Amino acid sequence: DQQVKQNSPSLSVQEGRISILNCDYTNSMFDYFLWYKKYPAEGPTFLISISSIKDKNEDGRFTVFLNKSAKHLSLHIVPSQPGDSAVYFCAAKLPASYGKLTFGQGTILTVHP
Amino acid sequence: NAGVTQTPKFQVLKTGQSMTLQCAQDMNHNSMYWYRQDPGMGLRLIYYSASEGTTDKGEVPNGYNVSRLNKREFSLRLESAAPSQTSVYFCAGASNSPLHFGNGTRLTVT
């Protein structure tokens, strides 16, 4: 039973355009959501997060939106750059379980020059 | 500034062999975690250690054991490797901060 799902295995975007990566979850008890980025042969690196009490968090080119009623979050990258090409994982945690994350399957983002 | 270091980077085992994956961190993290990544499955938690001297099972602990040797080191042991344990293993640390991952160990069991 996958509690966090990324239904798009891959996404291809032109440099300079917006990339939108989506994530759905089923457990309404999740209180914190994170996005990680992973390059080949490296470990995932933290990108941006959002608490369940907020609906938007922005950090430079990266913005995460949370729609609790739809149990949906999305990551927007504007403008997209070729260096953004990587696998993106969304993750969620339950209260008082900081490092115990439930991850989605990942979305491969390719940004074409 | 090593962060979280995992050894080895690659390993091939035959079914039934045993091995220990090593993880060490120099970031003073209180808690440490072992995850495995499989195609189409994302990362799944195997075991974690909330603090030195404690360990607990995660989502997929069967076939594994762990040891939190000290605050810096958290090892994962496969006593009798099986092909289903072919995966990429990631160690991570955290202290009131997002998980900080090592670069992984790619394990193949034939």
**pLDDT score of B96:** 77
- pLDDT tens by residue, A3-39: 999 999 999 999 999 999 999 999 999 999 999 999 9
Residue B22 structure tokens: 């090593």
Looking at every residue in chain A, the average pLDDT score rounds to 96
Statement: residue B91 has pLDDT above 70: yes
- pLDDT tens by residue, B7-58: 999 999 999 999 999 999 999 999 999 999 998 889 999 999 999 989 999 9
Round to whole Å and give the CA distance between A5 and A90: 8
CB-based contact (8 Å) between B96 and chain A? yes
Quick check: B103 and A42 CB within 8 A?
Answer: yes
Query: For a pLDDT cut of 90, what percent of chain A falls above it?
Result: 95
Average of per-residue pLDDT across B51-66: 95
Quick check: A41 and B103 CB within 8 A?
Answer: yes
Q: First vs last Cα of chain B: how many Å apart?
A: 35
Average of per-residue pLDDT across B63-71: 95
Average of per-residue pLDDT across B72-96: 95
Predicted confidence band at B105 (pLDDT cuts at 50, 70, 90)? very high
Quick check: B42 and A42 CB within 8 A?
Answer: no
Q: Name the residue in chain A with its Cα closest to that of B40.
A: A105
Predicted confidence band at B95 (pLDDT cuts at 50, 70, 90)? confident
Looking at every residue in chain B, the average pLDDT score rounds to 95
Statement: residue B1 has pLDDT above 60: no
Q: Which amino acid is at A113?
A: P
Identify the three-state secondary structure at position A7: coil
Of A67, A48, A66, give the one whose Cα is nearest residue A58.
Answer: A48
Query: How many helices (H) and strands (E) in chain B?
Result: 0, 11
Residue with tokens 């990566």: A21
Residue A7 structure tokens: 């239904």
Query: For a pLDDT cut of 90, what percent of chain B falls above it?
Result: 89
CB-based contact (8 Å) between A50 and chain B? no
DSSP string, A27-46: -TT--EEEEEEE-TTS--EE
How buried is A94 (Cβ within 10 angstroms: 0-12 exposed, 13-18 middle, 19+ buried)? Answer: middle
Query: For a pLDDT cut of 70, what percent of chain A falls above it?
Result: 100
Round to whole Å and give the CA distance between B84 and B65: 16
Residue A68 structure tokens: 């609790």
Q: What angle do CA B69, B72, B75 make, to 5 degrees?
A: 50
Round to whole Å and give the CA distance between B5 and B13: 21
Identify the three-state secondary structure at position A3: coil
Give the closest of A6, A46, A89 to B98, CB-based: A46
